Chain A
Amino acid sequence: DTGVSQNPRHKITKRGQNVTFRCDPISEHNRLYWYRQTLGQGPEFLTYFQNEAQLEKSRLLSDRFSAERPKGSFSTLEIQRTEQGDSAMYLCASSSGVQVAEAFFGQGTRLTVV
């Protein structure tokens, strides 16, 4: 499968714990995005990487959230000291950004904070 891969698919954690999600984009894609989606809402932008550089970060993003993309390949999103309000689907997408900037989304990681 050459699509965007996200792991884990589901994560249940206790409030206050740290969690880390991984995203493996389509191999030739240099653009990588993280989004968060809650029920009944559209995906909400979190952050954007072009290769290994994090170029955009949502102002709504708490400093408990951090993302990395070492070597411009896979990316990780870490949430520290999780809160119940962090419960959501976390979506990763990648794009080649050539002419039509179609974003290919992964299946997402569903986080439940209890």
Chain B
Amino acid sequence: GQQVMQIPQYQHVQEGEDFTTYCNSSTTLSNIQWYKQRPGGHPVFLIQLVKSGEVKKQKRLTFQFGEAKKNSSLHITATQTTDVGTYFCADMNSGYSTLTFGKGTMLLVSP
């Protein structure tokens, strides 16, 4: 079945530094969604990417979908302590019936 790989598994940065997490698949992804899960919380939707080469921005967050639709990335500029959490990418199949998650990247931000 579809597998979504995420790297790195964990990253610890100082507040103000940038952060990037990468999502890769050996097969073409349908729709990439990104979620954030705070410690002890549940996944919260951030964004959906559908088109090849798509780039979307939300304030300090930049999301990209690769040209071949086999990879995606999330970049956070100038991290803040409120960015702490685990960031997951997930592939939503075209029928909206399954959402396959990567293992996530845990981000820790020190003040």
Contacts and interface: CB of A to CB of B under 8 A. Distances in A.
B97 A91 contact: no
A42 interface: yes
Given A42-B88, A100-B48, A105 B100 contact: no
Nearest to B102: A42
B66 interface: no
A105 B1 CA distance: 23
Interface string B21-40: 00000000001010000000
A101 B43 contact: no
B86 to A, nearest CB: 8
A43 B102 CA distance: 8
B109 interface: no
B102 to A, nearest CB: 6
Given A45-B98, A55-B97, A91 B48 contact: no
B55 interface: no
B97 A105 contact: no
B38 to A, nearest CB: 12
B75 interface: no
Interface residues of B, number: 22
Contacts of B13: none
B48 A41 contact: no
B7 interface: no
Contacts of B104: 41-42
Interface of A: 31, 33, 35, 40-45, 48, 50, 55-56, 59, 91, 93, 95, 97, 100-108
B100 A45 contact: yes
B45 A104 contact: yes
Contacts of A56: 97-98
B103 A41 contact: yes
B61 interface: no
B42 A42 contact: no
29 contacts: A31-B96, A33-B99, A35-B101, A42-B6, A42-B90, A42-B104, A43-B43, A43-B88, A43-B99, A44-B101, A45-B99, A48-B97, A48-B98, A91-B43, A93-B43, A95-B96, A100-B48, A101-B31, A101-B92, A102-B33, A102-B45, A102-B48, A103-B45, A103-B99, A105-B42, A105-B43, A105-B44, A107-B41, A107-B42
